[in-house]
Chains A and B, each alone.
Chain A
Amino acid sequence: MNKTLKISLIFFVLIFISSCQTSEIEQPEQTLGLFYPDYVSKPVYGFEKNKLTHDGIQLGRMLFYDPILSSDSTISCGSCHAQAHAFADHNMKLSIGVNNRMGLRNSPPIFNLAWHPNFMWDGGVNHIEIMPLAPLTNHLEMNESIVNILLKLNRSQTYKSKFLQVFKKDSIDDQMMYYALTQFMGSITSFESKYDHVKQGKVAFSSSENRGYTLFKTHCNSCHQEPLFTNFSFRNNGLDSVFKDLGRALITLNHSDEGLFKVPSLRNVALTYPYMHDGRFRTLEEVINHYTSGIKHSKTLDTSFFENPIQLNPN
């Protein structure tokens, strides 16, 4: 080969090697999208900065089930958010944290979180990414400090290599931990119910389901709004006339928010018993009985219970 040609080739090769460090040979992992049917609105959390990847979701799942995130390595997120119960607790009224400490409210299920504008029964947490901060550090729950969690994660070669793979950083920080947990929790969706299949024209409701759907649309849909089966508002649904738990008012400090709690989704509702913020109702029948004959009056009771009382047997 001609010497000049050789030099030219070398230069051409150099062009590619030198064409900026960012274009590493490494292929970035394909980012995933959140699947949802067309009758569902766009989620509020879109994974724009926190790119959803297969490895990221796997890492989040690993963290979710790892008890080292708690102070005495006994409790993981999965301890009180069980997949068999749509990621609500194992039918406990209130959840048990480290040292058998009893929590204050019923563990909510985990699905369709990317659509939630806020979190917790009182809406106190304003972003999906920092949602885990509450259970991780609450002394009644996992009772651990973020500093300690990061120490433990950074001591683990397994975690270090997995975080490096997903986030391309050597040292694990709390943002990476929240991002991974958000990838797992935010990608859990509920869009394969019978309701969804009916919406998609794949199957039809039975006649009794249809009667239930009609009743639902008359009496429940204003708060438990289709297709997510919640409009994420805060309501006093008449549980008490004197409030043991002030609910939303603890966050807003408004008297008009006393006794209001976030409307839960009715998706997977058969799996998530017991019901209400304190788990007081064991069965769905008890819930229906409450709405038909158990509403207690108070100054913040939702007006829909006056205007449109639930009458399941109008005859």
Chain B
Amino acid sequence: MKKNIFSKIMLLSIATTAILFTSCKKDDDTGGDNTPTKGTVKLEFEHKWGMNLVPFSMGVDIKQPKTGDTLKFTTLKYYVSNIKFKKSDGTWWSQDESYHLVDASIPSSLIISIADVPIGTYTEMQYTMGVDSIRNVSGAQTGALSTANGMFWNWNSGYIMTKAEGMSPNSPSGDYALHLGGFQGEFNVVTVKSTDFGGEVLNVSPSATPQIHLVANPAKFWHTNPGVKTISKIHMPGANAKQAAKDFYDGIFFDHIHP
């Protein structure tokens, strides 16, 4: 009899322990079987130059076809955020904490790795060039949004969403610096971009890592704005920043998907 009670207690203990162990599992585990339900997508930014989309390199003299300026880029950095994919059933998947800093001087930053995308077929994507207004007014952040990246204005709070700097003999000061930002009112540069995959599909599976190629064209900073002889420095939100950012962001396009 006594032994029976102990056995019951023991059984209860085992059961409770088992429950607690299970309850400690992470939410993203999928119950019993171990079939993966998620995959990784890579998003690559490729830089090409001018109307003919010739290869673009940092640190070499390159001619801007429209203004005729000779430019040598030393810095090209921009934020890409809030990445979303549209499934073929019409539903959207959004990446959590989706803030990425692309830095043309750091090759690894040109390829954004997006993990934990549910497996399936996707036909469109949406992403934001810049950082949404809420993160511009929410105090200290981490990761890509850390102030250690030098992409936050110290005197006029807000992210420098795109930074392009370099040397040019055509600039009166010998250099140029375009610090483009602004998250409110008429000078808001935050730009949401949508693109379908032009008939191609994005197949997310555990066994492959498809890579979406987007092309960005830094010559577009001067698509509308005059050359560096007239505007060599942009250091705050305003009409010049808005125009340069708009032209650069408008010029980003979907190229292809590596399955």
Contact = CB atoms under 8 A, between A and B. Distances in A.
A138 interface: yes
B140 A4 contact: no
A127 B138 contact: yes
A84 interface: no
B141 to A, nearest CB: 6
Interface size class of A (residues with CB under 8 A): 35 or more
Given A14-B17, A173-B146, A175-B146, A130 B140 contact: yes
A126 B138 CA distance: 8
A150 interface: yes
Interface stretch (A5-13, A189-197, A259-267, A285-293): A5-13
Interface stretch (B7-15, B95-103, B195-203): B7-15
Contacts of B88: none
Contacts of A20: 20, 23-24
Contact of B148 (A129, A174, A182): A174
Nearest to A124: B156
A270 to B, nearest CB: 30
Nearest to B237: A253
A18 B146 contact: no
B13 A174 contact: no
A4 B146 contact: no
B20 A19 contact: yes
A126 B137 contact: yes
B23 A146 contact: no
Interface residues of B, number: 35
Given A20-B24, A127-B137, A150-B148, A8 B156 contact: no
A134 B155 CA distance: 6
Interface string A1-36: 010110110011011001111000000000000000
A120 interface: yes
Nearest to B19: A15
A2 B7 CA distance: 11
B94 interface: no
A178 interface: yes
A107 B78 CA distance: 34
A251 B13 contact: no
Contacts of B158: 126
A53 interface: no
Contacts of A133: 147, 152, 154
Contacts of B138: 127
B238 A253 contact: yes
A12 B13 contact: yes
A251 B13 CA distance: 65
Given A18-B24, A124-B157, A137-B154, A129 B16 contact: no
Contacts of B237: 253
A65 B123 CA distance: 56
Interface of B: 2-3, 6-7, 9-10, 13-14, 16-17, 20-21, 23-24, 136-142, 146-148, 150, 152, 154-158, 187, 236-238
Given A134-B155, A178-B140, 19 more contacts: A2-B6, A4-B7, A4-B9, A8-B6, A11-B14, A15-B13, A15-B16, A124-B156, A125-B157, A129-B140, A134-B154, A136-B154, A146-B147, A146-B148, A146-B150, A174-B142, A174-B146, A175-B142, A253-B187
5 contacts: A8-B6, A124-B157, A127-B138, A133-B147, A175-B146
